[in-house]
Structure 1
């Protein structure tokens, strides 16, 4: 079995695969002050609760956009799983062609998503990851990763609004039935959710236009990440919500590089 870790700014998502099957998935909050031992205790408790034997893990791969946490996680894997983890970064074989001006600037999470999408979907692609930041990636059918856009995530936007406006309360990010809010809370929800959907649709339309001007067919639009279901269910511009795209990409990268 293979353990995969997707380290984001808000959460660490862990998955255990047996060949191509995702057996278990867990989330931990990302805390850069935690030690290797603290992470070890938490991860082993997840294994114990889910009745998964840590001794059955034969390989580990980590993708991280939080450099300050990497040492603790790598040390934790070596100490508690007796395995040197594979870390996604320069030198990792991906099977895609990164056309960024400086390929080293592309976040590991975006590379992992692109690898999974290219492997799973035979199409030009727009990949949207709704995380702490919302990232948009554009790919040709042949695996050329062209680049994309990065925007504040919807939760960051909501938090900034309440922090900077003294009389506005914190709200639950759920879609109201009407754009015309009848209360402060529903008005904020309408502005955040429907306004965010509008920005997503605008970027998708622009990326589709640019890809098709390059001679590509109309791209398939994929969404993943914590808010993918909320946004994806509210717009016709997103074709597929793939909640496990990043974990699948880590599994694929592990197989490509395990030699």
Structure 2
């Protein structure tokens, strides 16, 4: 089996290839809702060729997307160029325990995939923190069910808002400042964003744990969360492969591999 896994967020889309044993290739592209299946195929074919692979060798596909208008084109990519019907998270795909929230249909595909990946790897009750366009805090029960959580603005979104709304504030990169108290505009902004998000994480994790009332393990995933490694004790594990692990497991549960 050669599986193409596509994980599409609001900002970036990850394409990864699994050969039945390991993930052998990964690429990211900017998410553009209007990108056609043919455009995806040209881009992907070139990258596959650079790794000694071909698009014709891919014989399975799973898609997780939080951009509904893109799903049509990603589905056509699989149908036209892989000659397979893709599994699309949310389309009657078996995930495991049902989401225990008021409106299960509203749960983002990315959050459900992360819940599967986290439960597969870590025992007990969990909090999964994933920071992209939004920063999400997802509660996963010991039986694997998605119990709900919190959505906050992502760190890059906050930086963009500061820059665009305040004429005197520049666009800056995210990095850990040397001091909490900034001495110039840039260090002020860096401290506010970096330590502000640390405080957001620590405060919300503490409140979730207090409300849940049982021990919980906290997992951080996504490229932005990794910036906070070593800066807080509130995150127990940093796991950049959580989403891919969840996609692979969902594929297994919905094909002969999981039979």
Q: Distance in 1 between matches of 2:80 and 2:58?
A: 13
Q: Distance in 2 between matches of 1:83 and 1:26?
A: 21
Shift of 1:96: 2.2
Instruction: Report whether the alignment pairs 1:171 with 2:168.
Output: no
Q: Give the TM-score normalised by structure 2.
A: 0.95
- Mapped contact 1:96–1:115 kept (Cα < 8 A): no
Over residues 105-162 of structure 1, what are the superposed CA-to-partner deviations in whole Å (9 max), with x where a residue is unaligned?
A: 1000000000111111112100011111111111221223210000000000000011
Where do 1:92-103 residues align within 5 Å? 92-103=93-104
The runs of at least 4 consecutive aligned structure 1 residues that moved more than 4 Å come to none
Of 237, 241, 244, 2:241 maps to 244
Instruction: Report whether the alignment pairs 1:112 with 2:113.
Output: yes
Match for residue 29 of structure 1?
30
Instruction: Report whether the alignment pairs 1:140 with 2:137.
Output: no
Over residues 74-105 of structure 1, what are the superposed CA-to-partner deviations in whole Å (9 max), with x where a residue is unaligned?
A: 11221111111110004211112311011101
Match for residue 48 of structure 1?
49
Higher relative contact order (CA 8 A, sep 6+): 1
Q: Distance in 1 between matches of 2:38 and 2:253?
A: 30
Paired residues in the alignment total: 255
The alignment yields a C-alpha RMSD, in angstroms, of 1.2
Match for residue 255 of structure 1?
252
- Mapped contact 1:228–1:243 kept (Cα < 8 A): no
Shift of 1:19: 2.4
Instruction: Report whether the alignment pairs 1:226 with 2:226.
Output: no
Q: Distance in 1 between matches of 2:57 and 2:37?
A: 21
Q: Distance in 2 between matches of 1:159 and 1:206?
A: 28
Q: Which moved more, 1:14-23 or 1:113-122?
A: 14-23
Shift of 1:4: 0.3
Match for residue 152 of structure 1?
153
Gaps of 5+ in 2: none
Where do 1:159-238 residues align within 5 Å? 159-211=160-212, 213=213, 216=214, 218-238=215-235
Q: Give the TM-score normalised by structure 1.
A: 0.95
Q: Distance in 2 between matches of 1:96 and 1:231?
A: 31
